[in-house]
């Protein structure tokens, strides 16, 4: 998998997959000086050219937590085919980053 320190732009074909994993299930809390580190960042560009920045923070022994405003974090909803939504966003971002790097 690709490791990147830059935000990854999520292409339109993958946006539904990302948004399904952003459905909030449980509020985690606000970001502060003691918050776990950010482990993934993605920018989704919508059809109208607006952008949504997604931040994923390590959750320790718990699932990762996600934010779309950089302040309020939540555990993403788990569904039968989606385990730990924020963790799966990390996987998707890495896969997309790898695809983008190999096309260069």
Residue-wise pLDDT for 19-28, tens only, equals 777 778 889 8
Give percent of the chain above pLDDT 70: 86
9 versus 84: which is more confidently predicted? 9
- Tell me which DSSP letter residue 103 carries: T
Residue 35 is assigned to a structural domain of this protein: yes
Domain count, the chain: 1
Please give the residue range of the domain that contains residue 12.
8-102
pLDDT digits 0-9 by tens, 16-49 = 877 777 778 889 889 888 888 888 887 877 778 8
**Cβ-count burial of 67 within 10 angstroms (0-12 exposed, 13-18 middle, 19+ buried)?**
buried
Q: What is the pTM of this model?
A: 0.70
Q: For the beta carbon of residue 103, count every other beta carbon within 10 angstroms.
A: 6
């Amino acid at each position: 998998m690709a490791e990147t320190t830059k935000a990854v732009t999520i292409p339109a074909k993958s946006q539904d997959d990302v948004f399904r994993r952003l459905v909030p299930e449980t509020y985690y809390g606000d970001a502060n000086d003691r918050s776990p580190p950010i482990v993934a960042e993605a920018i989704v560009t919508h059809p109208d050219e607006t952008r949504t920045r997604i931040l994923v923070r390590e959750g320790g022994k718990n699932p990762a937590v996600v934010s779309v405003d950089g302040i309020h974090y939540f555990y993403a909803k788990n569904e039968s085919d989606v385990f730990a939504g924020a963790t799966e966003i990390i996987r998707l971002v890495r896969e997309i980053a790898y695809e983008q790097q190999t096309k260069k």
